[in-house]
Chains A and B, each alone.
Chain A
Amino acid sequence: MKYNVTIGLEMHCEISKTNTKVFSSARNGYSEIPNSNIQPVDMGFPGTLPVLNKECVRMALMMSEILHCKQPEYMYFERKNYYYPDLPKGYQITQNTPPAPVGMDGYIDIERNDGSKFRVLIDNIHLEEDAASMTHLYDISTINYNRAGVPLLELVTKPCLHSAEDAVTFLEYMRSVYQYCDISEADSKKGQIRCDVNVSISENEELGTKVEIKNVNSFGGVKEAIKYEIKRQTELKENGRYEEVEQETRRYDEESNTTIRMRSKVDAIDYKYFIEPNIPKFKISSDWLTKIKESIPKLPYERKEVYQNEYGLSSYDAGVIVKEKKIADYFEKCLNENMDAKTAANWLTGPILGYLSKNEMDINDLFITPQKLFSLTEEIRKGNISSKQGKELFYEAIEEKKDPLVIMKEKNMVQISDEETLTKLIDEILSENTKQIEMYHNGKTNMFDYFVGQAMKKTKGQANPVKVKEILITKLNN
């Protein structure tokens, strides 16, 4: 690339794992029924007051620790004042002005798929409340306040990233961290993750004009938006029209994979921040902070290291498995069943993840539990069925929601490994195919596979292919 690309990210992640909202006693959870998870404060009724959810603070502090941030001495909040129908109080309670944010000036090291590493500098992470969600129809707009007051963690990086790929790698890792810490499902399909992206290009060390792209709701979108923006800015530069790149806010359009201008930074709103008077400042005790620090669970990269070093998985396989906590948990459950690590990894990265992504399914809803998978792989290991039969059983069991071993029995699906039976069978095949034997001896070695195929055909796939091959080799070479 001809120009230096500089990218900064803002990642909003809803905290989904608390019982209640961040400043309200309403349930924090998804509901099909609009306006069902609400309390008077969520709709800004006169006289209502915010009450801080301590569990949200704990989670925010945990993230602050993970990102190697500095914590403020006192916990307090600010009001961000602006009018919009999705903001019933007319202000959002947030932490904007240092030292309000729960985490400041941190960093985190990220691994690329090829094993190389890069460091992302964190400007801050802060705790705030989400706004209501709106649906704009032809001539009306509807508002659903279920989301109003849902806890939100906003992570702001320094402008320190240089490619769309790195940006997405970082975001994916952060998503895993949220899941591993049981803070959020971090599901972008549920709108739990939303990103703002800042992009600029430059020929030298100085940063170019920063363009902000708001509300990019998927990581794919982040990648596309960055790529489009680099292309757009580069083209303007090449054509000597770089002055047309303005400090502005754009939005990402999913349909066209482009970014569209919203407003100039000159029109930026003055949010008139001031300290929220209804939430008294309180000191973050070092005891509490230590406790939170100690409770940080094993994070993806730590698990990956264990999988590679202790279980001998490849970097790639280990990387795929730790990406989502649920997958890694499934893997570890398999190990608890005494399953061989590599076998478990192969099944996970192969048929299981394939099936899940094809059917857009959650691994926790998979009929083949680690226990069932173990008993299935045991049959293969013992040679009672072939691995091909194993896979057939896997899919059939899911489709019919039936224990694979039961199906195995019903179908009389067994592998013939008995030497005597197989020798008899092969003798029969060879005597029927004298011509082919001649061809084999004359150099057509691929006839070998033909004989194996015949054996499988005659036994309806039940012959143990390994054993068949062994016997064939002996017979043909005599």
Chain B
Amino acid sequence: MTYMDKTLIEIHESLKKGEVTSEELIKESLEKAHKIQPKTNSFVTIIDDAKPTEVTDDILSGIPYGVKDNYSTKGILSTGSSNTLKNYIPFFTATAVENLEKKGAICIGKTTLDEFGMGGTGTTAHTGIVHNPWDYQRMCAGSSSGSAASVAAGVYPYALGSDTGDSIRKPAAYCGIVGYKPTYGMISRYGLFPFASSLDHCGVLARSVMDAAIVVDGMKGIDKHDMTTWDSSEINLYQNLSQDIQGKKLFYIKEICDIENYPNASDELKSHLENFQQTIKKCEEMGIKVDEVSFDEKLLNALPSVYVIISCAEATSNMSNLTGFIFGPRGEGKNYIEMMKDYRTKGFSPLIKRRFIIGSYVLQKENQEKYFKNAQRVRRLIVDKMKELFKDYDALIMPVGSGPAKLLNQEEERIKDDTTALEEHLQIGNFGGFPSITIPNGFVNNLPVGVNITGNCYKDQDVLNIAYALESQMNYKNQIAKEDVHEI
């Protein structure tokens, strides 16, 4: 009998009935973690001495989970998957993790990410590449790669992620699970290593909408350490989960979803978009009205540039604390400048250095107006457009990415069709701080794909309920990656 592949409610009931103990759950979880680690490289640290907790009425009590390694955890190595913090053991715990600890949740592992969350492939961690448990040849996407892989592989029912562009919601799709980031400020970012503060969100990777709701209920709350948090004590996502979504209205963006816009579409892309239309049909069958809406193509095309400019600018500044003087392995040199240069040169991967240069460039006095300020203006235009649409619609529904997980050793394909907007549209959720959830909606080439639902700020319950209802009409809830089944 295994439990870690069950839902939170099932596990909780078994604990309550005494069919299993917290200790046994930890043992099972750790065993699975060690088992998948050589194949997926999901973990930076597996916490072998994790202690059981008392089983209370709290659903999360006594149950293991994973934490992305860019959350500060007291006394436990927290690296951000970067060499710059390869030896960093914090003396304080991130608020979101602390909130879960108070409920008796047990962290059994710190999961691998793209260095400091800056990447979408799961290939830039200082401990190496993360492999997709559905197919080891493929990537998990990122940056919450290890969290997605381990949840999909059934190590535990959920793991924490962070999301600056799509870092929870894309890996969730590639790994066939649920990824949810709530409205900006619902979960405290205190203790989350910052990438781009105005875009960073905490969130969760789980295998069902209900589990995601339970976990975010546990993580959220106003925090005196984070001025951007707000009081959400009136919101009980799990208790108010409902499949009654009659009369809800959704829209999807024509320019991105219309197969006609991709004259040279690959079979994969075709299947993915067809599958999306199947999901739309399901919605309509359930009594949801879905409209195809046109969105200014100029704004859509600007998405990646706006994202790169703002995120790199903030990241450059946010990571200026990484000097190797106070924490991290101290660099060598005759003076502080040399020491800092040595530390940063050795510590950061080339990808990050490139982003720092972009960030510095767009913030320079002579460039700021043209790049950074304009990016902020376009961000505002995109958000305003969305808010306008949210007056008529409850949520945006969109396919995630241009298909299933990509091969790791895939040569950079010559782009026949521009699928940039398809790959990048989830960033809209970060621009506006919108609640956004990805759920699995089928398979393409035996690999999972996902669909995303994004609503207006503070409308988390609506977004979750739509996802919850849709999930119930499909057979992908709580699916576990069976590497042997799907291996090519």
What residues of chain A have their CB less than 8 Å away from a CB belonging to chain B? 40, 43-52, 79, 81, 83, 85, 88-91, 141, 270, 272, 274, 277-280
Which listed residue, A43, A49, A79, A270, touches B227 by the CB 8 Å rule?
A49
Contact, CB under 8 Å: B336 / A278: no
Sample (14) of A-B pairs whose CB atoms are under 8 Å apart: A40-B92, A46-B321, A46-B327, A47-B191, A47-B194, A48-B191, A48-B225, A49-B190, A51-B227, A52-B227, A85-B323, A272-B363, A277-B197, A278-B197
- CB contacts under 8 Å to A, within B415-457, are none
B contact residues, total (Cβ < 8 Å): 44
A277 to B80: give the CA distance in the assembly, Å.
21
On whether the beta carbons of B227 and A272 are closer than 8 Å, the reply is no
Whether B313 and A274, one on each chain, are in contact in the complex, defined by CB atoms closer than 8 angstroms, is: yes
Identify the closest chain A residue to B78 (Cβ): A46
Is the CB–CB distance between A90 and B225 below 8 Å?
Answer: no
**A50 pairs with B192, CB closer than 8 A:** no
B226 surroundings in chain A (CB, below 8 A): 49, 51, 278
Shortest distance between the CB of B340 and any CB in chain A (Å): 7
Q: Contact at A45–B317, with CB atoms within 8 Å?
A: no
Q: Is B228 an interface residue (CB 8 A)?
A: yes
8 closest Cβ pairs, A-B complex = A90-B320, A44-B321, A272-B363, A277-B198, A277-B197, A47-B191, A47-B72, A46-B193
B85 is an interface residue with CB less than 8 A from chain A = yes
- For A51, list chain B residues within 8 Å (CB): 224-227
Mostly helix, strand, loop or mixed at chain B's interface?
A: loop
Interchain nearest-CB distance for A395 vs B (Å): 52
Query: Are A91 and B317 interface neighbours, CB within 8 A?
Result: yes
A-side contacts of B298, CB under 8 Å = none
Q: How far is the CA of A47 from the CA of B327 in the complex (A)?
A: 13
In-complex Cβ contact of B364 among A40, A272, A280 (8 A): A272
Q: Which residues of A contact B228 (CB under 8 A)?
A: 278, 280
Question: Which of chain B's residues 299-346 have a Cβ closer than 8 Å to chain A?
Answer: 313-314, 316-317, 319-323, 325-327, 336-337, 340
Chain A residues within 8 Å of B91, by CB: 40
Task: Check if B90 is an interface residue, CB within 8 A of chain A.
Answer: yes
Smallest distance from the beta carbon of A309 to chain B beta carbons, Å?
Answer: 48
Smallest CB–CB gap between A135 and chain B, Å? 14
Give min CB distance, A43 to chain B, whole Å.
5
CB <8 Å contact, B326 and A278 = no
Contacts A46-B72, A90-B317; is A280 near B326 (CB within 8 Å)? no
**B360 interface residue (CB < 8 Å to A):** yes
Complex contacts, A280 vs chain B, CB 8 Å: 227-228
User: B323, A81: Cβ atoms under 8 Å?
Assistant: no
- CB contacts under 8 Å to A, within B71-91, are 71-72, 78, 80, 85, 88, 90-91
The smallest C-beta distance from B246 to any residue of chain A, in angstroms, reads: 36
A50 and B194 CA atoms in complex are apart in Å by 13
A46-B85, A89-B321 known; 20 new pairs, CB 8 Å cut-off, are: A44-B321, A45-B72, A45-B321, A46-B72, A46-B90, A46-B193, A47-B189, A48-B191, A88-B321, A90-B319, A90-B320, A91-B320, A270-B364, A272-B316, A272-B364, A272-B365, A274-B314, A274-B317, A274-B368, A278-B197
Q: Please indicate the chain B residues that have their CB under 8 angstroms from the CB of A279 in the complex.
A: 227
A47 to B70, CA, bound (A): 9
Inter-subunit contact B227/A50 (CB<8 Å): yes
Instruction: Say yes or no: A272-B190 contact (C-beta < 8 A), given A47-B72, A49-B227, A83-B340.
Output: no
Give the CA-CA distance A386 to B72 in the complex, in Å.
74
Q: Tell me if B320 and A89 are in contact (CB < 8 A).
A: yes
Q: Does B88 contact A46, Cβ atoms closer than 8 Å?
A: yes
B372 within 8 A of A: yes
Interchain CA distance A6-B337 in the complex, whole Å? 37
Q: Which chain B residues (182-231) contact chain A, with CB distance < 8 Å? A: 189-194, 197-198, 224-228
B59 CB-CB contact with A under 8 Å: no
The residue from A44, A83, A274, A277 contacting B363, defined by CB atoms under 8 A apart: A274
Residues of the B chain whose Cβ atoms lie less than 8 Å from the Cβ of A274? 313-314, 317, 363, 368, 372
**Distance to closest chain B CB from A41 (angstroms):** 8
B40-81 near A? 1/0 per residue, CB < 8 Å: 000000000000000000000000000000011000001010
B317 A79 Cβ-Cβ under 8 A: yes
Among B80, B94, B224, B226, find the residue whose CB has the most chain A CB atoms closer than 10 A.
B226
Question: Which residue of B71, B85, B90, B363 is within 8 Å of A81 (Cβ)?
Answer: B363
Query: How far is it, in angstroms, between the C-alpha of A280 and the C-alpha of B226 when the chains are bound?
Result: 10
Nearest chain B residue, comparing its CB with the CB of A85: B336
- Taking a contact as CB atoms under 8 Å apart, the answer to whether A49 and B189 are in contact is yes
